[in-house]
């Protein structure tokens, strides 16, 4: 049976991709055939100067840390070159983001792996269009959720709001991950303790601050593999 989770954040730029890659690496060490799926990505850079090919950096990171071979389109079927919210780029580029396309990509990649992490865009209620939010698709697919939290002032409130929104959707939360996107302040452990006390959901681990992300992928046991909860 395939294990799969949707990875959301309390906001944008909280380090969802780093958390996904660390979990993929950990699960592969335990014998799983791992894969990451980032159905929607925005923001690109030229990684091949000769023919000016544009790629999304997060998608490439997920591709590199998936244990099974996946092409770029399999991991990221919907890609916008500009960095902006999906629903704005959707309208600007006259591109119709459909729930069915997200589900089709999920179905295809699920056939190849037994440990799958689906990375969202921004926070829980990120709009995909004027009609649908990313959360609507997660509810449709009945995916258990992992929350990534950037440890900073305000993170407790953001985490509680995200938690309550997910729970109100009748979805299960398999755990949360603390991430030090910037150098931690003196109250980071207090943030973790408060969130653990107030929410009573599994704490999967803390990602330390690092100037070089590659160093994080060589560390062991940073994040625990979540359990599927019914």
The question of whether 38 is a catalytic residue gets the answer yes
Two tokens at 214? 């590659």
Task: Give Cβ neighbours of residue 145 (< 8 Å, ≥ 6 apart).
Answer: 5, 6, 7, 8, 138, 166, 171, 172, 173, 174
Two tokens at 67? 């244990």
d(CA 35, CA 71): 11
Inter-residue long-range contacts of 190-194, CB under 8 Å, 24+ positions, other chains counted: 191/151, 191/155, 191/156, 192/151, 194/156
Identify the active-site residue in 3, 16, 38, 152: 38
d(CA 137, CA 102): 8
Provide φ and ψ at 200, rounded to 5°. 55, 40
Q: Which residues are tagged catalytic?
A: 38
């Amino acid at each position: 049976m395939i294990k799969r989770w949707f990875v959301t954040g309390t906001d944008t730029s909280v380090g969802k991709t780093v958390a996904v890659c660390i979990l993929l690496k950990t699960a592969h060490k335990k014998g799983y055939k791992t894969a990451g799926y980032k159905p929607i990505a925005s923001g690109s850079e030229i990684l091949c100067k000769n023919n000016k090919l544009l790629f999304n950096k997060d998608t490439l990171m997920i591709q590199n840390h998936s244990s099974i071979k996946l092409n770029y389109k399999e991991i990221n079927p919907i890609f916008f070159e500009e960095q902006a919210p999906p629903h704005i780029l959707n309208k600007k580029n006259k591109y119709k983001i459909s729930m069915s396309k997200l589900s089709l990509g999920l179905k295809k990649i699920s056939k190849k792996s037994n440990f799958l992490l689906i990375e969202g865009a921004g926070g829980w209620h990120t709009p995909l269009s004027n009609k649908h939010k990313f959360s609507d698709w997660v509810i449709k697919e009945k995916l258990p959720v992992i929350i990534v939290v950037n440890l900073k002032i305000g993170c407790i409130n953001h985490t509680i709001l995200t938690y309550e929104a997910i729970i109100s959707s009748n979805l299960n939360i398999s755990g949360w991950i603390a991430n030090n996107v910037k150098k931690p302040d003196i109250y980071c452990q207090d943030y973790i303790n408060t969130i653990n006390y107030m929410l009573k959901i599994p704490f999967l681990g803390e990602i330390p601050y690092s100037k070089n992300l590659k160093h994080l992928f060589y560390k062991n046991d940073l994040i625990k593999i979540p359990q599927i909860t019914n």
